[in-house]
Structures are given as structure tokens and as C-alpha cells.
Amino acid sequence: MARSATVFSCSACGHESPKWHGRCPGCGEWNSFVEEARPAPTARVGANGVKRSAGRALKPVPLAEVQAPAVARLCTGIGEFDRVLGGGLVPGSLVLIGGSPGIGKSTLTSGALGNLAGAGHEVLYVSGEESAAQVKLRAERLGGHALSVPIVAETDLEAVLATLETEKPDVCVVDSVQVLYDPALTGAPGSVGQVREVAGRIMRVAKELGIATMLVGHVTKEGSLAGPRVLEHLVDCVLSFEGERERTYRTLRALKNRFGSTNEVGVFEMADQGLVEVEDASERFVTEATRAPGSVVLCAMEGSRPLLVEVQALVAPSELVPPRRVANGVDRNRLALVLAVLARHGGVSLGTSDVFVSVAGGVRVDEPGADLAIALALASAAKGIEPAADKPLAAFGELGLTGELRHVAHADRRLTEAAKFGLDAVVRPGDGVRTLRQALRGAARAHAA
């Protein structure tokens, strides 16, 4: 009997079997079997029966002698995108762009390819999800050079690879990696085995021919399930496109980047003509800040860029035990910590109230420097103090468990950004303000001034 070209192996213990099992006979794990292409036998057996490698020995080279020509990056023409990539696409690199459906991955990549085509680069758009006509409709909305991008609508991996080998574009987009399938594997498109095989083979072709490739991948709500998570180790760069579909603001951040920092964040807005870069996000958030009780402007850092965002809090009497704690854009545990410190060290006890905290505009802040702004917003919401000044209150700083205020990185840049928008009185850890109590008093003074 001919051996089948694929083998199923357990991703937990490595047990191999010619057919799929729901439960691994080796280790008893459920749902761990993944289909893989059967590797060709490579080992040869030496005289004494010991297996020897069939490969040829290589000569190690000291790193100092390795030739590394400086490569010019390919600019996508979308400033925020280029910045997150670390200054543009590196030729021959593999970039994974993950995000939930409808967030704007196809819009972003179509726009980038259009700009690259306009700059004279060879590009190719492989669409597995949408027909060529659908992609054309989007390109018409985007305008610019988007209509000059060549497209193939195909889901068969072999056909896509053959096209890449013939066309040899400089940049290629595969939208999405979950719908492509390798006919040699029996698994459904999007299964772990298929996604890994598809990405692995595209990577080999792309690296060999020097094609910068952007793989689009969907992330499920849990961020896993045969999703692009299995590819993270394989690609050079993992970008995550986040935001809520109902909100206009979207953020693009790098989770992994072999050619740049993972601190950069790009802010976009979805408009009628595609994604618009929001270069001065701070200005919008500050002018939109309500100046009402419960509103505080946080001087946050998004990577190397200061960003002013509005933190809003609402405190209302609760009929529930335990009362509600709802956090949007900030971590729930962080909110719990701030509430506890406020109760214990700030004299603001909210144990019988529902508490809602939200960062305006659908932005997410994940830094400890947000603590003080959350605490001040909660205190002002609880006490209902109307600010007398016409400017919103601004703050940043980390809260310690003993009620002390801790310094956070880039204080000077946060202050400069705040000053740019006329926010001179920023409550922060510093001279005279070392504890939460002092900060609360400082905030009350700023309000009264």
C-alpha cells in the first residue's frame, strides 16, 4: 500500500499516527492531533549502526565577518504603518497582520500596495476571501493608485506559489492566510495544520525570491483557535490591528518586530475613503474632553510617542452585591487596584457604588502611568466636583499599594505634550506630591484655580 503523504501528530506529546484521533493514544490529550506533511527520510546509518546526519558540515563564520548589506526599506506611503514597521517594509520580510474581522486589514493592505505600486514597485494582491470584483469596489473607494494593483483571487496554495514564482513581485499581500489551503493535506482551510503549512511554504518562496510578504490573519475573540497565533514564531513581524468595529479609532501595534521596536503605535480612523492616519491624536482627544466631573486627561505614552487621552469615570449607587466594575480601555485588575488604594489611602470608598471607567475614543492604555488619572477621575466623579477652570485636568503617575505615587518613564515628554495643548497644571509625582492624598488635594486646587 502506498504511504499517505501526510501524518497526524499530537501537538502535546509528538505521538504520530496515519489517521486522526480525537484523543491521543500516547498521552490522552483531547483534540491535539494536527496534520503535517510527511518529512522525507534524511538520516543515514553509519558503520556501527548509529544514525548519522545526511547533511554536509558547515563552516561557522564570526559575526564580525558576516556581510550585511544595508537594505533600503520599502515605504508603504502610510506614515503610521511605516513607523510601526520600524521605518518601512524590509525587502524579503514576512509580516503577519492580525485583527478581528471588519477592523480594516484589507483596507490597510490595499492602500499600502496602491502606494507602493504608485512608487514604481512590483506588487501583487492575493485575495482568497473576496472576489476580484469586490476588491475592485474597495479600491475605487480608496482612490490613488489602488486600482493599479494586480490581483489574483485564489485559495489553492500551489497556484499561489506558482504565481509568486512567475511574477516575482517586490511586495505581496495574502488575504487571508486562513482561507488558503494545501491540497496535499486533508484538513480544512484554517485548521492549525493547514495554516502552518501554508505560511511555511509561502515563507520559503518569499525568502528565496526576496518578496516582502504581508500575511493577513483573523484573530478570534480569544486570540487563538487555529488563528495566526501558531505563526508568530515563524514570521519576522507580528502586527496587531485593534479597536472596536463600532468606534472610529483603530490602533496598529507591533507585538514582535525583528527589524524595529515593538513600542510604536499607529492611530487610524475609518472614514469613507478608507483609513485616515490620525497624526495629532492628542489634539482631538483634548478638544473632545468634556471638562465635567469624572473626566481627566491622561498624559500617556504610546511607545515613543506621547498621547493625551481622556479617562472618564462614572460612579452611581448600586443595587447589586457585589456592585458593577466596568472597564473599557483599561485593565480590570488595574481598576480594582486603584479602587482599593483610593478606599484605603485616599478616603474615597466606593464599595456600594457601580463604577464605570472608560478611555474615550476606543483607545486602550496598558501602562501603570494611567493609575493616577483613573484615581482622580473616580474621585472627581464620586464627589461630583465641577471644575472651575475651563481647561480639563491632566495627570499621570503610578500608584503604589501603600498609597504612594511612583515616577513613570518619559515625564518630560508627557509634560511637553500637555503644554502643547495649554495644559500647564499637570498632577504628577514630584516635588510636594508624593502620595495619593497630596495628589487629590492638588487636583482639587487645580479645579478651584
Give yes or no for residue 103 binding ligand TYD (CB under 6 A): yes
Nearest approach, Cβ of 175 to ligand TYD (angstroms)? 7
**In 1-82, which ranges are E strands?**
6-10, 16-17, 33-37, 44-45, 51-52
Looking at residue 180, what DSSP letter applies?
-
Comparing CB distances to ligand TYD, the nearer of 79 and 102 is 102
Reading the block at residue 99, the C-alpha cell is: 485583527
Say which entry of ligand TYD, Mg ion, none residue 200 contacts (CB below 5 to 8 A, set by partner kind): none
Position 106 contacts Mg ion (CB under 5 A): yes
CA distance 193 to 375: 47
Residue 429 contact, options Mg ion, ligand TYD, none, Cβ 5-8 Å cut-off depending on partner type: none
Q: Are the C-beta atoms of residues 133 and 147 closer than 8 Å to each other?
A: no
Angle between helices 132-142 and 105-118 (to 10 degrees): 70
- In the bound state with ligand TYD, the residue whose beta carbon lies nearer, of 171 and 426, is 171
Can you tell me whether residue 174 is helix, strand or coil? strand
Task: Report how many residues bind Mg ion under the rule CB under 5 A.
Answer: 1
Tell me, by CB under 6 A, how many residues bind ligand TYD: 14
274 binds, among ligand TYD, Mg ion, none (CB under 5 to 8 A by kind): ligand TYD
Contact characters 259-278, ligand TYD, x per CB under 6 A: -----------x-xxx----
Q: Is 107 in the site for ligand TYD (CB under 6 A)?
A: yes
Q: Which residues from 165-204 bind ligand TYD, rule CB under 6 A?
A: none
Among residues 131 and 416, whose Cβ is nearest to Mg ion? 131
Measured from the Cβ of residue 196, the count of other Cβ atoms closer than 10 Å reads 21
- Binding-site member from 104, 228, 362, 387 for ligand TYD (CB under 6 A): 104
Nearest alpha carbon to residue 235 among 193, 208, 200: 200
Residue 270 touches which of ligand TYD, Mg ion, none (Cβ within 5-8 Å per kind):
ligand TYD
Residue whose CB is less far from Mg ion, 104 or 294: 104
Q: Quote the least distance from Cβ 142 to ligand TYD, whole Å.
A: 6
What's the chain's length in residues? 449
Name the residue among 63, 100, 95, 62 with its Cα closest to residue 81: 95
CA–CA distance, 257 with 198 (Å, rounded to integer)? 21
129-148: contacts with ligand TYD (CB under 6 A): 138, 141
User: For residue 157, which of 171, 170, 176 has the smallest C-alpha distance?
Assistant: 176
What is the C-alpha separation between 45 and 65, in angstroms, rounded? 35
Distance CA 157, CA 199 (A): 10
CB of residue 407 to ligand TYD, shortest distance in Å: 39
Q: Output the residue with the shortest Cβ distance to Mg ion.
A: 106
Amino acid symbol at 76: T
> Is residue 247 at the binding interface for ligand TYD, with CB under 6 A as the rule?
no
| Residue whose CB is less far from Mg ion, 173 or 360 | 173
The interface region with Mg ion, picked from 101-109, 132-140, 262-270, 285-293 by CB under 5 A, is 101-109
- Whether the Cβ atoms of residue 260 and residue 228 lie closer than 8 Å to each other: no
Cβ nearer to Mg ion, comparing 138 with 441: 138
- Record the cell numbers describing residue 243, joined without a space: 479597536
> Measured on CA atoms in the order 195, 198, 201, 203, is the torsion positive or negative?
negative
Between residue 273 and residue 332, which ones bind ligand TYD under the rule CB under 6 A? 273-274
Which positions lie near Mg ion, rule CB under 5 A? Answer: 106
Which positions lie near ligand TYD, rule CB under 6 A? Answer: 99, 101-107, 138, 141, 270, 272-274
